[in-house]
Amino acid sequence: MATARHFHAQGWNVIATMRSPRSGPLLESDRLRLIQLDVTDPDSIDAAVAAAGPIDALVNNAGIGLVGVFEATSMDRTRELFDTNTFGVMAMTRAVIPQMRARRSGVVVSVTSSVTLAAMPLAAVYTASKAAIEGFSGSLALELGHFDVRVKLVEPGYGPTTRFTANGQERMDGMFPPAYQEFSEPVLTEFAQPAAVTYETDVADAVYRAANDTTDRLRFPAGDDAVALAGEV
């Protein structure tokens, strides 16, 4: 939401998407439209891309969070994360490439996570789903660069104040078995009292900078914690 508002404030025409659009989160205007999109549904993707019209910048921001012990993570839960965090990004990107390639212009910005910058405990599946997009984007940047289409990554740090964190709570039930209590409790305590956090505006700013960057730079950490992990302090 912050990203949509930031681009709109800079004069862009914005197509904001939600799985279940509702009034209130965004004030629509002549330069901001809200449409339905489920990145795990091919028909929804086709309909959204058709409704949007020409796309100059695609921001892949749909994501599912998960913290928990890998041994306690079912394969169904693992596939759920990859369906959105990995395959959803790939599907949306593939849907817009033809028009960008034909125009020889455009940019794809995918939002991953600071978990790709350093190994973190209790985040094995989530890290894997995001790290896949890092590798995907690096290769794709070379592939699409031939057609003057840019590919960028934004790597947000830990954002405990956002709905992203709250939305993942139910998914984490049963993810901390007793055998791991001694290990997991100190980690969860540290998560609850982070030394630095990332805010929505940090991510919005990084996405905007990435979308407008015309250099070969691929990665844009967002938030003080992510910037520190990336070694940019």
Chain centroid to Cα 80, Å, comes to 15
Locate 228 and state its tokens: 């520190």
Distance, in Å, from the CA atom of 29 to the CA atom of 52, rounded to the nearest integer, reads 15
Give which of 138, 191, 166, 156 is closest to 61, Cα–Cα.
156
Q: Concatenate the DSSP letters of all residues of 91-157 into one string.
A: HHHHHHHHHHHHHT--EEEEE--GGGTS--TT-HHHHHHHHHHHHHHHHHHHHHHTTT-EEEEEEE-
Cβ atoms 48, 17 nearer than 8 A: yes
Q: Which two tokens stand for residue 32?
A: 């901001």
Query: Residue 23: CB partners within 8 Å, gap ≥ 6?
Result: none
Positions marked catalytic: 126
